[in-house]
Amino acid sequence: MGRTSDQRLATSDQGSPLVAVVVVIFTMVEGDLQVLLIRRSAPPEQGLWAIPGGRLRPGEALVDAAVRKLVDETGVEDVYLEQLYTFNDLDAATPGGAVAVTYFALVDHTRVRLAERADWQPAWHSMRGLPKLAFKNNHVLSYALERLRNKLEYTNVAYSLLPGTFTLSKLQRVYESILGRRLDKRNFRKRMLSREIIEATTERQAEGAGRPALLYRFSARKPVEL
């Protein structure tokens, strides 16, 4: 799991900013980049959708709080997780202000088991058509998407969005959904193979009526910089 700072922040005293940890959880569903959101069941911003998050517990490390929230919502933890940014202007309604330390995670949709509860229900939403969001969360998602797009240029982070084996066509759809544009098939395949972050297996999978496509896998299922 890719992690950043392990520094600890104490929960706020009265009058000092509240510290919360927020986790942007991305997945890929049938070639569509989606994000996990929670329907708020209480004020403020009741009824709106928000990125999963919660208060930092006394003595808890930031990254541990992010992992806790990730596991609570999806049931998985051995995925790509990285500290994103610290925002101090997302929740103007909190007395004394609030500091939101944000992370982003990438999960394989087939491994996720969303939390089941009557209130504060979670659901996946396409990044191409988001609902109205609470607490300026649209700014957080824009920042997270830009970070992810940049990561594709010099790391292998896409491994955390895919199963153990996949076709090059499926890999290309993942990149296209994140980047928001079509890619030339020949150039994409040449570039991916030259980077040596994926390798061919001996297996094949049927895709349409043609010859079954060769399956590939990531050379390392952990964060690697190119």
Give the containing element (helix H, strand E) for 64.
helix 62-74
Asked whether residue 88 is assigned to any structural domain, the reply reads yes
Q: How many domains does the chain have?
A: 2
114-160 pLDDT tens trace: 999 989 999 999 999 999 999 889 999 999 999 999 999 999 999 99
Transcribe 81-131 into DSSP letters: EEEEEEESSS-TTSTT-EEEEEEEEEE-GGG------SSS-EEEEETTS--
- 8 Å CB contact between 61 and 8: yes
180-212 pLDDT tens trace: 999 999 999 999 999 999 999 999 998 777 789
Q: What is the CATH number of the domain that holds 115?
A: 3.90.79.10
Q: Give the position of tokens 């959708």.
A: 49
Q: What is the mean pLDDT of the chain?
A: 89
- 8 Å CB contact between 198 and 216: yes
- Which pLDDT score, from 0 to 100, does residue 34 have? 98
Rounded Cα–Cα distance for residues 159 and 196 (Å): 13
What pTM value is reported for the model?
0.89
- Which pLDDT score, from 0 to 100, does residue 1 have? 47
Whether residues 191 and 179 fall in one domain: yes
Whether residues 84 and 181 fall in one domain: no
- Which pLDDT score, from 0 to 100, does residue 92 have? 57
Give the end of a domain, one of 112, 128, 153: 153
Size of the chain, expressed as the number of residues it contains:
226
Whether residues 130 and 56 fall in one domain: yes
Whether residues 100 and 195 fall in one domain: no
93-123 pLDDT tens trace: 555 567 999 999 999 999 999 999 989 999 9
Whether residues 56 and 78 fall in one domain: yes
Whether residues 199 and 176 fall in one domain: yes
Whether residues 142 and 198 fall in one domain: no
Asked whether residue 8 is assigned to any structural domain, the reply reads no
Q: Give the position of tokens 């919502």.
A: 73
Domain of residue 59, residue span: 18-153
